[in-house]
Structure 1
Amino acid sequence: MNGGPAVLAIAEWWPILPVGAAAAILSALIIRLIRPHLQKHALAKPNARSSHRVPTPQGAGIAVVAATLIVAGSVLADRAPAGLFGATLFIAALGFADDIKPVPVLPRLVLQAIAVGALVFASPAEFRVASAVPFWIERGLLLLAGLWFVNLVNFMDGLDWMTVAEVVPITAALAILGIQGDLPLPTTIVTAALCGAMIGFAPFNRPVASIFLGDVGSLPIGLIVGWSLLQLAGEHHLAAALLLPLYYLADATVTLLRRMMRHEPFWVAHRSHFYQRATDNGFTVTQVVSEVFVLNLVLAALAATSIRAGSLALETALVALGGAAVALVMVRFSRPRSKTAAI
């Protein structure tokens, strides 16, 4: 999953803002074009686990993924990560099929594992995240981590603007780190394009949303972000790679473990994530996504600091500080919002 040894030179930083702007415009234009068709053929109908109350079209992820790949591919040309682009299209097609007619759990996981595995096992042998771990064990762990990350982004895409509040800060931070030379050029361009594409999607998904990403969006977005974070870890910035998505990792993982301990069918859709419980506890959708967005800005600042830390002890302390911030938000979400705070 390594994007190559080249890093972004200072003289090459100028395309980043135009990349984001072009992806935002293209994403918004495609959404406007396809929304009438999705309204007819891809409606998400509300159920007991939904956060929406009226049938809403889903599938805007088509526009987000298309804009990301078209813009990034145009800028990178022969330096584009072909493996990532191919795996993204494959998993987007799987997500689209699932949006139209649900795919059984086991085949869905197998196909997702093929997409993630194609990236992990095609990585150069010298690409290592934890060199102390035997090579094949590390590759196996990366496969499991990638598969989990793809699914947790899908699990957490259950509230208007939630994925925007997560993905925009992460991809913006990654693009900025790339400008500073901490990431390979392909990763920098891809993250800038995805950030822009999500910004183009945001006006359509603001509460109350007129369209959703759908699995066609959440799954490939999870793949792209997971791949990008792996590139960061491969540049010896593991603490930063953990800090950036820490809220999603914590909410999804703790929720999964709690459901497993209760012997609940954890593979079935539900409303027990912390961000979902927050809306049941008196938080408005805007309050939830605003707190997640601010938390992600804090985590991005901690991640950037960890890269310049210069010592393992300081990096560990920054991860612990990020964990404490995430825990604080999750505890807040899990408790009823007081009437005084709601005023």
Structure 2
Amino acid sequence: MPQPLALLLVLAVAAAVSALLCVLLRPLLVRYALARPNARSSHRVPTPQGGGIAVLGGLFAALGLTLAILPPVPGLGSLAFVVAASAALAVVGAWDDIRPLSPGLRLGLQALCVAVAIVYAAPDIRLFPAALPLAVERLLALLAGIWFVNLTNFIDGLDWITVAGFVPLAGALALACALGIVDPATGALAAALCGGLIGFAPFNKPVARLFLGDVGSLPIGLLGAYLLYRLAGNGALAAALILPLYPVADATLTLLRRLARRERVWEAHRSHFYQQATTNGHAVLAVVTQVTGLNLALVLLAGLTLLLPALWAQLACLAAAVLLTARLLRRFARPAASA
């Protein structure tokens, strides 16, 4: 089977299984996993969480299909560790959804899962071999992975916003595989993640009937970090920096501002730019539409960095991505009438 058709099959299976699991699990989640409004919430009524189980279920089913009916895919051995780490992190997230863990224990378990998925499962990747010792590079990769897992969780606070962020990202990685830029195993994982989120999307559209929960946002963050790390390791560092720029910028700037105000950064809040946007009068659908539009523009800029390998072109695309992201953050921080 031609590779693009194989990736479409993986995506379709993940989407179908995810949607089916959303339908089957929702009554159970309504009974046992209601998310009640709190200081961080953008919703006003109790809403079931745990949709991440369906997303991961679709992803695992699609990858199982890849193993069962397609020719052997190079790199699946390493992918097994990534899948295992994401499943373990989903268990951590589910536990935290039901009975909140202490910040230290939660962070330690996250670090262990990130170490397995990024440090252990991708030993062949070196981003700066001439500039950094291997141990330093691995430590930086670990810290970046932990931060990406957490920022994905932080950003997952509005209907459809994680879908708006990760469907373009995962779709771009699957397309990169079809074009021969990343390996087939990475492409299969990206297509499965994209499909799982597409299947979940109808249930999370504003006003959401189902949330991802930590059981979904944490492993999705881990999978996204792994995909971006693989992309960077294939000589596309600029593209890997551009694709996740909105969630990275929103979460990082928010954290720095809260640290500067000496706030307890581990406590719930509504300081993120996308949260400010709804407070400032922007409709939820308008917020996620603008985030989607920005992410599609970032996909195009990331693609340009692959077509134009010259340093000046890479820097120009990065600068354009930063400017577009800054413009949207500024718009979200202002009242809707003056944005």
TM-score of the pair, normalised by structure 2: 0.95
Q: Which runs of 5+ in 1 are unaligned?
A: 1-9
State the alpha-carbon separation in 2 of the partners of residues 68 and 264 from structure 1.
37
Q: 1:136, 1:214 → 2: CA distance?
A: 34
Q: Residue type matched to 1:312 in 2?
A: L
Structure-1 separation of matches of 2:301 and 2:63: 27
Name whichever of 11-20 and 309-318 sits farther off: 11-20
3-state DSSP of counterpart to 1:230: helix
Q: 1 CA distance for matches of 2:118 and 2:112?
A: 10
Q: Gaps (5+ residues) in structure 2? A: none
Aligned-pair Cα RMSD in Å: 1.3
Deviation of 1:74 after TM superposition, in Å, equals 2.1
8 Å Cα contact 2:82-2:121 kept in structure 1: no
Paired residue for 2:21, among 8, 25, 30? Answer: 30
Q: In structure 1, how many angstroms separate the alpha carbons of the residues matched to 2:93 and 2:205?
A: 22
Alignment length (residue pairs): 331
Residue 42 (structure 2) pairs with residue 55 (structure 1): no
What is the match of residue 120 of structure 1? Answer: 118
What SS is found at the alignment partner of 2:147?
Answer: helix
Deviation at 1:319, TM superposition (A): 0.5
Counterpart check, 1:244 vs 2:243: yes
Which residue is 2:8 aligned to?
Answer: 17
SS at match of 1:272: coil
Matches within 5 A, 1:1-150: 11-76=2-67, 79=73, 80=76, 81-123=79-121, 125-131=123-129, 132-150=131-149
Displacement after TM superposition at 1:36 (Å): 0.6
Which secondary structure does the structure 1 equivalent of 2:282 belong to? coil
Partners of 1:234 and 1:124 lie apart in 2 by 9
Distance in 1 between the 2:295 and 2:260 partners? 29
Amino acid of the residue matched to residue 57 of structure 1? P
Offset at residue 337 of structure 1 (A): 1.0
Separation in structure 2 between the aligned mates of residue 73 and residue 321 of structure 1, nearest angstrom: 39
Asked whether the equivalents of residues 260 and 266 of structure 1 are also in contact (C-alpha less than 8 Å), the reply is yes
Query: Take 1:119 and 1:44, find their aligned partners in 2: how far apart are those partners?
Result: 29
How far apart, CA to CA, are the structure 2 residues paired with 1:69 and 1:316?
37
Q: CA deviation at 1:123?
A: 4.2
Task: Trace 1:222-237 onto structure 2 (pairs within 5 A).
Answer: 222-237=221-236
Deviation digits for residues 164-206 of structure 1 (CA, Å, limit 9, x no counterpart)? 1001111111111110001110110111111111011011001
Give the secondary-structure state (helix, strand or coil) at the position aligned to 2:197: helix
Distance 1:113 1:314 in 2: 35
Deviation for aligned residue 1:230: 0.4
TM-score for the superposition, normalised by structure 1: 0.94
Distance 2:313 2:134 in 1: 27
**Cα shift readout 1:131-161 (whole Å, capped 9, x = no counterpart):** 2211100000000000000000000000000
Percent identical among aligned pairs is: 50
CA positional deviation for 1:237: 0.4
Deviations 1:251-301 (A, max 9, x none): 000000000011000111110000000000010000000000000000000
1:202 counterpart residue number: 201
Contact 2:17 2:61 in 1 (8 A): no
Give every structure 1 segment of 4 or more consecutive aligned residues whose post-TM-superposition deviation is greater than 6 Å.
Answer: none
Q: Shift of residue 125 of structure 1?
A: 4.5
Partner in structure 2 of residue 4 of structure 1: none
Say if 1:76 and 1:186, in contact at 8 Å, map to a contact too: no
Residues 191, 228 of structure 1: 8 Å contact kept: yes
Whether contact under 8 Å (2:174, 2:188) holds in the other structure is yes
1:5 paired residue number: none
How far residue 124 of structure 1 moved from its aligned partner, in angstroms, is 5.4
Structure 1 SS opposite 2:336: coil
Paired residue for 2:298?
Answer: 299
Superposed, which structure 2 residues align to 1:311-322 within 5 Å? 311-322=310-321
Q: Distance in 1 between matches of 2:310 and 2:261?
A: 40
